[in-house]
A and B are shown apart, each in its own frame.
Chain A
Amino acid sequence: MAEPSELFTELLSEVDAILLFSPTGSYYEEVVAESEVPVLVVSDGDDIGAEEFVELPLEFDDVAERIRFGIEGALERGLLKDGDVVTCAVTMFDDDIDTTSRVRVDEDMESGIYDLFSNSRADPSVIRAVLELAIELGKKGQKGKPVGALFAVGDAGKVMNKSRPLSYNPFEKSHVHVGDPIVNVMLKEFSRLDGAFVISDSGKIVSAYRYLEPSAEGVDIPKGLGTRHMAGGAVTRDTNATAVVLSESDGLVRAFKGGELVLELDPEDY
């Protein structure tokens, strides 16, 4: 009879690095003290003082997504390279780390999600807040009916210059930021308005009711998406903004950057 720990040795042997997902401080210290290979931390805030750290901007429920994001972030930061084999220790069921998985790092895994957060003009926390807002809006809709919304995040000056108001701006002279508790309710009400929300680099909601008029030339988005997505995609090509679009018809949240679709999420998964 072989012990389980012997049976699964090949799963855990000869790895180039260990990725810990949201570990506790003491757990991290323990692993670092014992480990012979580099230990990387992937979590939503660096509160344990890890040396090599990848920030997780969304609470990915799906473990595969979470691992993919962590590896992408580590690749981007140059902490891992193509062909490395890593062990990922993640939480699947409870609050503690209970699952490990062996993953071979592949350059092709890059989908641009990490890039969306870390290399956008706007603060990662702002993009995260907007995504959360869109997910929330997609989940609940307005009074049970599905709604669509378009957020142009970052580079607000340029976006404002390349758009025109459809009506009075309800956010005129207001100083609310995405992530403020009141904003969820406010935006839910305003989501019935036509046009786009414009959000600045630091998360200030500059305007609602904006009609974006960038040139749609050379925008490459999948066929079948509507005008809202086209406008969102086009404005990111013309400016340095990132667009977060909630589709009214299929309920998916999509993010555009540089005129390309970089992220597609189903609100129901979060």
Chain B
Amino acid sequence: MVRWSLFTDQPAALAAAVLALGILLGYLIGKLNKRLLTAVGVSDAVEGTPFERTAQSIGTSTVIIVARLSSWFVYGVAMLTAIHIAELVNAETFWLRVTQFVPQLFIAALVLIVGFVIADKAELVVSERLRGVKLPEVGVLPKVIKYSALYIASLVALGQIGVNTTALNVLLAVYVFGLIFLSGLAFKDFLASGAAGIYLLLNQPYGIGDDVQIGDHQGIVQEVDVFVTHIENEEEEFIVPNSHVLESGIVRIRSQ
């Protein structure tokens, strides 16, 4: 007991011990994180994204950066605790704010990194999907998705460190509303046809080979998919949206 109190009486020694422990712990956590991230396949998932490529070009990788970040976080906490114990600076309120701010800064940095990687990855995946579409204008879409993801990530990061983001939030709300509104307008007919198509496919009121009349069009059903029905007669093939099929009703014509 005597020895222990002797130890606690020496704040500098205790601080040094805490610091040493913190450095060890930080190092271990960094290693562990690296192993963990590699094991869950993060390095494969981020492969090819510009962020990873930038990281590679400066001799590191996304996994290493994230692992380092966690190490530094622990180092930082250890250092602060050590300084606090050693009572080098004695201003309670200042320390309170710093200890609150450091974890938030850490989370903000993490969010930013994850945001960058997700944005890059989303851009890659979408452009890969669209590669078969030979339309130059379609190249805008991956960029839009990338910057939307980046915008949201930076909003979260800024919110985390307490910057006032109300104006940016309003902008985001307007953007999302516009997106939903416009796509609702644009896909209205698709939705109606899709819903009708599901009914037609499940119940099959008419099938391929039936002679039917839908609206003004009469012919043999050649194909039914989710959105449209193909009806063909001797000269013409009508491609009727399924919503129209339900609206106008179906006349099945029995021959002979």
Contacts and interface: CB of A to CB of B under 8 A. Distances in A.
Given A157-B232, A173-B204, A175-B201, A201 B223 contact: yes
Interface stretch (A13-21, A90-98, A158-166): A158-166
A212 B225 CA distance: 25
A158 B220 CA distance: 7
Interface in A174-223: 175, 198, 200-202, 204, 206
Task: Give the size range of B's interface with the partner.
Answer: 10 to 19
Interface string A146-161: 0000000001111111
Given A156-B208, A175-B201, A206-B209, A161 B223 contact: no
B221 A157 contact: yes
B201 A157 contact: no
Task: Give the size range of A's interface with the partner.
Answer: 10 to 19
Contacts of A206: 207-209
A188 B202 CA distance: 26
B220 A157 contact: yes
Nearest to A154: B222
B222 A157 contact: yes
A200 B201 contact: no
B219 to A, nearest CB: 8
A200 B202 CA distance: 18
Interface of B: 131, 201-202, 204, 207-211, 219-223, 225, 230, 232
Interface of A: 47, 155-161, 173, 175, 198, 200-202, 204, 206
6 contacts: A155-B222, A156-B208, A158-B232, A159-B209, A160-B208, A173-B202
Given A47-B131, A202-B225, 11 more contacts: A156-B209, A156-B222, A156-B223, A157-B210, A157-B221, A157-B222, A161-B211, A173-B204, A200-B208, A202-B223, A204-B223
